[in-house]
Amino acid sequence: MDMELTVSFPGNKKVDASFKGFTIKTDQPATNGGEGTAPSPFDLFLASIGTCSGIYVLDFCTNRGISLENVRVVQTMKRDPETHLVTEVALRIELPKDFPDKYRDSLIRAVDLCTVKRHIKNPPAFTIEAVKAL
């Protein structure tokens, strides 16, 4: 199944993506010449990992009638100082004291199914071409 996402350039360092009826706005921070009005594309990439993990936590708890009060996912990243690339992403699921211990390992396995993480571990092939408009 093919999917299409369209990128547009509304001004300065802003780059927007239109996908599935939504407009996803990005901008660069002021330190990079932008206005800082929206997350950077890389910030959205990192957020997609955490929020994807979060949906698996949400579904897991909801399906078992477990309250999400005091549950959160904290994502930390380590970056290589030379390449500036992220070398490690750690996800910590913070649970309330009354979270049932019998579900802890199952919850971790559920979060491990995150679709974004699975795509990173098995990346798609990329092709790039430049074509002139008709």
Question: Same structural domain for residues 59 and 105?
Answer: yes
The parent domain of residue 44 ranges over 40-121
- Its pTM stands at 0.91
Question: Same structural domain for residues 75 and 45?
Answer: yes
Q: Is residue 134 part of a domain?
A: no
| Per-residue pLDDT, 134 | 83
Q: Is residue 128 part of a domain?
A: no
pLDDT means per 10 residues in the chain (134 residues)?
95 98 97 97 97 98 97 98 97 97 98 97 96 91
| Per-residue pLDDT, 98 | 96
d(CA 74, CA 47): 11
| Per-residue pLDDT, 55 | 98
Question: Same structural domain for residues 47 and 63?
Answer: yes
